[in-house]
Amino acid sequence: MSDQAFQTLKELPIPLHQAQCVLHKHELVICGGRLQRACYSYDILKNEYKFICNYPSNVTLWGHSVVKLVDNNNNNNEDKNQITLFVWNKISNKSNEFNNYNKWVPFTDNHNHTVIIGKDDDSYEGARAVIGGNNNHLLFITYSKYISVFDLNTFQFIKHGYLLTGNSILLHCFVANPKNGQGQEIIKTDQQNYQMLLFCEKTGLPIEYDEDNNTFQFH
């Protein structure tokens, strides 16, 4: 393959291992790395980095995962430059308050109680997730040999299932099927199912979720 197929970008300000990124307009938001709490924005057009913030000192990043929350009810043009990110490995945080720009703050419910996703015996190291549902209110989490569905409106798990991968998965690729829509936003297909794809080593697994019946199909 010709070297012209790739573009050399400016080096990161610091080395990042197992970094997590989300795309927002022409910026790539780089949310820390393994044992590294610094977050940066990379401007694709300017080929420049800008420091955003650090994760809180009590958060240790070790195989963490970051997803972008989608607000279908937000039609305010003034908020088009604002995004909300959701991150966890052992501790869950959510940046969702207008007076907390560029900060990681605790993920809370409607009564301002901190929400922790998972139990003490769950190992979310290397977990991956996508957000979907009729109103982009479902968080699909894949980890170890499992797939779970967490309702971001009720703050409860509504489904746990086993992945047909044979071996445990870790630091894998888990994305929405492009047929559903763009990015990680999953919308309903003609088959009334949400389609996702999981890749890990020799495993390639299409996953379909029926929200009406709360069931999975794997192929």
User: In this structure, is residue 142 part of a structural domain?
Assistant: yes
pLDDT digits (tens, 9 = 90+) for 140-149: 999 988 999 9
Q: How many CA atoms lie within 13 A of 215 on its CB side?
A: 4
Question: How many domains would you assign to the chain?
Answer: 1
Residue 158 lies in domain: 62-218
User: In this structure, is residue 208 part of a structural domain?
Assistant: yes
pLDDT over 50 at 186, yes or no: no
pLDDT digits (tens, 9 = 90+) for 116-137: 887 655 678 889 999 988 788 8
User: In this structure, is residue 7 part of a structural domain?
Assistant: no
pLDDT over 50 at 84, yes or no: yes
Tell me what pLDDT residue 189 has.
47
End-to-end CA distance of the chain: 33
Who contacts 93 (Cβ-Cβ below 8 Å, separation ≥6)? 55, 56, 59, 86, 87, 104, 105, 106, 107
Tell me what pLDDT residue 183 has.
42
User: In this structure, is residue 55 part of a structural domain?
Assistant: no
pTM above 0.85, yes or no: no
